[in-house]
Amino acid sequence: MKYPEEMYLNSGFYDGDMDDSVENHKEKIVKCRKDHKCSACQNTIKKGDQALYESGFMDGAPVSCYTCLKCIEDWLEESGQIESED
């Protein structure tokens, strides 16, 4: 993990993409117990890697997704929340 955990959780990565239709929205950093597909870049998040896990309910049905930390880190830098090291 490149930055403090709070930065990933407060990044606002999906702000504007989701309206208030997701109820009971929760997010946390998890260590994946199996491979998952990143909802942003579509690359595989491998078993044992950390990812941002989000869950909630949409239209009464459970929904969830995983986002790789690289996508969140890129977003933090591109959105100006972090000074890029480039």
Q: What pLDDT, on a 0 to 100 scale, did the predictor assign at position 84?
A: 57
* Pairing label, strands 50-58, 22-31: antiparallel
* Pairing label, strands 44-45, 50-58: unpaired
Domain ranges of the chain: 5-78
Q: Tell me the pLDDT tens digit for each residue of 22-49.
A: 888 899 999 999 999 999 999 999 999 9
Percent helix, percent strand, percent coil in the chain, to nearest 5:
15, 40, 45
What's the CA gap between 40 and 67, in Å, rounded?
6
Give the pTM.
0.85
Its CATH class, for the domain covering 5-78, is alpha beta
